[in-house]
Every structure is written in C-alpha cells, then in structure tokens.
C-alpha cells in the first residue's frame, strides 16, 4: 500500500507537469499611445506595419477594442486587475500610486503555476508585485540609453535605443526561463509616447512623406464645451511645444519644456549626439529661416496655418519613425518565438494602453472618450486549440485581458473581476445575448496636463453618451453611424429624445453593475 501510495503521488505529479506544459505561454506586448490609425492592418494608415499585420493575419483583429480610462497608468492598472479605475484605486497619473498589495492577474497567474515577468514600462509609481522577474523603466522612461529599475532596488543604465533594449531583455529572459513551466511575459514599450524621439538609424525615414490632415483638423468645437477648453492642440505653442515636441531648437533657445527635451537628448553618447544634432540643426535652421517670427516665441504667439502645418508634419514623421522601430522589434520577437518552436503554444497579444489623436479635432494626446483615444488596437496570434481567425466585432475592453489569461491558464476567475473572458470569442462560441451591448468609461485626471475635463459615459454599437463634470456640467450625445468623427453633439435634440433616454438608462445600468455611483454623488453636491 505504501509503494502504491508513492506511485500514485508520482503519477499525480507527472500529470501535473504534463498539464502545466500543455498550457499555452502568453506574450503580452503593450505599447504606449500607439493608435489604430497608425497600423496598416486597420486600414487607411499612412505607414506600414508588416509585423503587427502578421499577428492579425495569422490570428484575429478586434475592430471594437476600448479602454476603461484613456491614460497610461490607469489603463495599466485596469489591465492588471480586470477592474475599472474606481475599483483598483489608480484613477490618474498625477496623484496616484498603485496598491501593489491588492489582487492582480499576475499574482493569480503565479498561483496557477505560471512564471511571470515584465520588462519595460511600468508607470504605476509603486514597485511591481506578482512578478518572478522584472526590469522596468523609471516613470515614463527614456528613449536613449534608458535606466531600468532592477529587482534588487538598484538602477542600471542600458546602452541603446529603448525599443531595441526592451526587446533584447524580453528575449534574454525567455532564454533563461524555467522551461518546465508555462510563462506569461509582459513586454511594455515606451514607444510611441511623446516626445517621439526616433532611433538614430531612422532619423531620415519618412522625411519625404507628406501626411494628410484629418478632415476635422480645424474643428471649432461648436456645441462641445469641454473640447473648447482642452490644451492638446497641434496649433497651440503652449500645447504642442516647438522645442520639446517638434525639435525646433537652436542653441540658446528655451520654452516651457525645452529643459526636459535637452535632458532626454543629452543622454546620447558623444558620437550619437553629434548625429542627432547634425540632422535636427538643419531642420531647425530651415524652420527659422522660413518663420523668423517664431524665434523666441511665447505660448500666446499668434497662430499661423503654415506654422501649424509644419508642426503637424514634424509630429507625424517623428511618430511614424518610432512606430517603424516598434514594428521591426515586434518582428524580432516573432522571429525568436518561431525559431524556438514556441509560436503554436503561445498566445501573442498586441495592444496599446490607449489610442491617440493624429490630428483629429486638431489634437494630439488622448484622455477624451472620443473614438480615437477610447479605441485601442488589439490583435492576437492564437495558440493551438483556438481556431478563430479574422475580425472580431464585439465590444471588448482592457478589463477583459485578466479573465481571459486566467481562464486560458485553467485558473479560477475571481468573482470581483469586472471584465469578461474573451475565450468564447476566440473559440467561436455563440455569444448572442451573452456578450455586452455597451461599455463604460471614466476619466478622472483634471486639472492636469492638457486640461481634459473629468467625464464618464457609455458607448453602444451606434451611440455614445458622455457627461463632463467637476467644474462644468455638460452632456454630449453622438450617433456614430451618422457622425463617426463626433462633430455634432445631439444632446437635447428632440429627434433623438428616445435614444437619449435609453442611453441614460444604459449608463445607470452599467454604473450599478460596476458599482460606480458617480451620478448620485454629483447630484448630492
């Protein structure tokens, strides 16, 4: 009996190892501020992203992927916890610190027998928890020769371009992982975050390309009070800084953000710094020869359409350059997984922490619940057993990643997680009547950089209702079928009275579901 007992234990242990080895690995790649408008697999992109497109072509592309809070830190907290911001406690970047002691998806994956690792951007103030290994950037991190926080609390400076370095570190960790266990690896890039400093080899890329402005670039924000009061306009010298954002710098110049710009660039080694300035000095000299009135500009300098066009082209070219490097590094990661024979047993997820404005409404940045920043790219290459291919049209959110990974790992999904597992969609199961018909959004960071008002709202397949609150009290309603660029606020329009009433009901229903009683709290004030 004793020998039989030992044999039984050995058999159970053997089965456990087999079960673990059969579970898929997960490589979760997340960028910062990369928007679907700049991914060619989503169509109408002015740049090509062949490696990102490969993930979509060999897997699935989510057409209606959204965030719960369009801001870097809060979005990451939603992903890690599967909960909306008011539940995970990290509502904004300005005054928040992520509570690492709370339940998180990486901790639950650890408990399920997965190795967990993160390299790259963390941006949650507190140190990472729930990871067997981490090397993360301090705060926003740097594009050139970036500093990484190590697990022992020390900081080490890496030599090279940040996107390359993060990919190198991700591959290096996979090379030395425990091959007896499945793993989940979070590869978090700094790209494509402001101020879009490119890899030096790409300095001259896209310089001959002229980017077309969106049709609503010169939006006047009629009927949209919060949009009128934002500070994220390409044309504004305060909002889009000529030196920091557009690199129009000559020695002796200064601006609101010039010191930060110079600190970032001066991280380059002497030889690389010379390459950088050789390129940008030429551009700056050409700019000031053409627009001498802009030398020593002030934030309230008169707007000039020709200057605005120059700023837009510089913005788009620099953004395209960092996107180019990003896509190439995605290719490196795919090549490594393929060479190691891991593609068929790995879920590869690519997304961003939110979308971004590429001139729509005249803007850059994110924050608002309008489509360009609410929507985030999401493509997946699926492991064996998940047969779905092509586009998925159901509305999904970043709170859905946690339950998806947990279910894929065979782990129990805690009842307090607010997202829905995406596995039914990936397995092509019938979801009619079972899937959400609306998503909820809440943005908190005001007053702060770019001055986007606090707001919350609900989006369905066709309509969107937004309430801006705090120091204003305005509502906006959009018919996304008739007005996909959200130029016409229909709130109070008698023709949409029934739609408006129904959207208010949906909003209250979701606030009750997610336990965010903000409307009743505002009403009491």
Element housing 61 (H / E): strand 60-62
The tokens for 109 are: 């994956």
Residue in the block written with tokens 């242990």: 13
Given 3-state DSSP classes, what are the helix, strand and coil percentages for the chain, each rounded to the nearest 5? 35, 15, 45
2-196+325-430 is classed in which CATH architecture?
3-Layer(aba) Sandwich (3.40)
What is the arrangement of strands in the sheet containing 183-188, beginning at the earlier edge strand? 155-157, 147-149, 133-137, 115-120, 183-188, 25-31, 346-352, 378-381, 60-62, 390-392
Strands (E) in 238-395, as ranges, are 346-352, 378-381, 390-392
Closest-CA residue to 502 (of 463, 473, 472, 476): 463
Contact indicator for 315, 239 with CB cutoff of 8 Å: no
Among the listed residues 197, 66, 194, 182, the one whose alpha carbon sits nearest the alpha carbon of residue 140: 194
CA separation for the pair 502, 437 (Å, rounded) = 13
Domains 2-196+325-430 and 440-524 share a fold: no
0.75 cut: is pTM over it?
yes
The answer to whether the beta carbons of residues 457 and 441 sit under 8 Å apart is: yes
Q: Which residues contact 491 (CB under 8 A, 6 or more apart)?
A: 465, 475, 476, 477, 500
Task: Parse the chain into domains and list their residue ranges.
Answer: 2-196+325-430, 200-213+222-315, 440-524
Residue 477 pairs in a beta bridge with 465
Grouping H, G, I as helix, E, B as strand and the rest as coil, residue 426 is helix
CA torsion, ordered 489, 490, 492, 493, to nearest 10 deg: 140
Length of the chain: 525
CA distances from 147 to 10, 139, 271, 298, 325 (A): 46, 10, 20, 33, 19
Helices 401-408 and 72-81 pack at an angle, to 10 degrees, of: 30
Structure confidence by residue, pLDDT tens digits, 169-187: 999 999 999 999 999 999 9
CATH architecture, domain 440-524: 2-Layer Sandwich (3.30)
What does the pLDDT look like over 348-374, one tens digit per residue? 999 999 999 999 999 999 999 999 999
525 residues of the chain, pLDDT tens digit each = 333 333 333 333 333 333 445 899 999 999 999 999 999 999 999 999 999 999 999 999 999 999 999 999 999 999 999 999 999 999 999 888 999 999 999 999 999 999 999 999 999 999 999 999 999 999 999 999 999 999 999 999 999 999 999 999 999 999 999 999 999 999 999 999 999 999 999 999 999 999 999 999 999 999 999 999 999 999 999 999 999 999 999 999 999 999 999 999 999 999 999 999 999 999 999 999 999 989 877 777 777 899 999 999 999 999 999 999 999 999 999 999 999 999 999 999 999 999 999 999 999 999 999 999 999 999 999 999 898 899 999 999 999 999 999 999 999 999 999 999 999 999 988 776 789 999 999 999 999 999 999 999 999 999 999 999 999 999 999 999 999 999 999 999 999 999 999 999 999 999 999 999 998 888 877
């Amino acid at each position: 009996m004793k020998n039989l007992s030992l044999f039984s234990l050995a058999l159970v242990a053997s089965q456990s190892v087999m079960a673990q080895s059969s579970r898929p690995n997960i490589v979760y790649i997340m960028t910062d501020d990369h928007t679907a408008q700049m991914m060619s697999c989503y169509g109408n992109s002015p740049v090509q992203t062949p490696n990102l497109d490969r993930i979509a072509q060999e897997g699935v592309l989510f057409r209606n992927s959204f965030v719960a809070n369009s801001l870097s830190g809060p979005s990451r907290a939603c992903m890690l916890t599967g909960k909306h911001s008011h539940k995970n406690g990290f509502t904004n970047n300005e005054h928040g610190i992520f509570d690492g002691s709370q339940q998180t998806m990486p901790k639950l994956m650890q408990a399920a027998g997965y190795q967990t690792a993160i390299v790259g951007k963390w941006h949650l103030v507190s140190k990472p928890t729930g990871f067997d290994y981490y090397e993360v950037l301090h705060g926003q991190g740097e594009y050139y020769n970036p500093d990484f926080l190590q697990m022992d609390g020390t900081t080490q400076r890496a030599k090279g371009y940040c996107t390359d370095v993060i990919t190198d570190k991700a591959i290096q960790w996979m090379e030395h992982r425990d091959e007896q266990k499945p793993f989940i690896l979070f590869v978090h890039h700094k790209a494509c975050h402001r101020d879009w400093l490119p890899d030096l080899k790409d300095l001259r890329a896209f310089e001959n390309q002229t980017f077309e402005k969106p049709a609503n670039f010169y939006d006047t924000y009629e009927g949209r009070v919060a949009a009128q009061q934002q500070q994220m306009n390409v044309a504004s010298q305060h909002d889009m800084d000529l030196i920091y954002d557009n690199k129009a710098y000559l020695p002796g110049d200064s601006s609101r953000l010039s010191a930060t710009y110079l600190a970032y660039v001066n991280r380059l080694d002497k030889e690389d710094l010379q390459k950088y300035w050789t390129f940008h000095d030429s551009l700056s000299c050409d700019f000031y020869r053409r627009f001498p009135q802009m030398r020593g500009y002030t934030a309230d300098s008169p707007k000039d359409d020709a200057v605005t066009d120059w700023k837009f082209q510089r913005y788009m070219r620099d953004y395209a350059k960092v996107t180019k490097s990003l896509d190439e590094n995605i290719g490196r990661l795919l090549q490594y997984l393929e060479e190691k024979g891991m593609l068929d047993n790995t879920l590869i997820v690519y997304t961003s922490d939110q979308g971004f404005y590429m001139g729509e409404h005249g803007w850059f940045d994110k924050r608002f619940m309008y489509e360009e920043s609410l929507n985030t790219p999401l493509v997946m290459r699926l492991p064996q057993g998940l047969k779905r291919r092509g586009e998925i049209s159901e509305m999904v959110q970043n709170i859905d990643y946690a339950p998806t990974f947990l279910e894929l790992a065979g782990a129990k999904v805690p009842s307090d997680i607010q997202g829905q597992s995406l596995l039914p969609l990936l397995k092509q199961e019938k979801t009619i009547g079972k899937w959400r018909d609306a998503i909820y959004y809440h943005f908190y960071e005001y007053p702060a950089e770019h001055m986007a008002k606090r707001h919350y709202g609900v989006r369905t397949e066709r309509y969107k209702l937004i309430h801006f609150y705090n120091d204003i009290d305005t509502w906006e309603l959009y018919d996304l079928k008739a007005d996909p660029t959200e130029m016409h606020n229909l709130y109070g329009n008698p023709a949409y009275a029934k739609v408006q009433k129904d959207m208010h009901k949906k909003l209250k229903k979701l606030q009750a579901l997610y336990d965010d009683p903000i409307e009743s709290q505002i009403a009491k004030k």
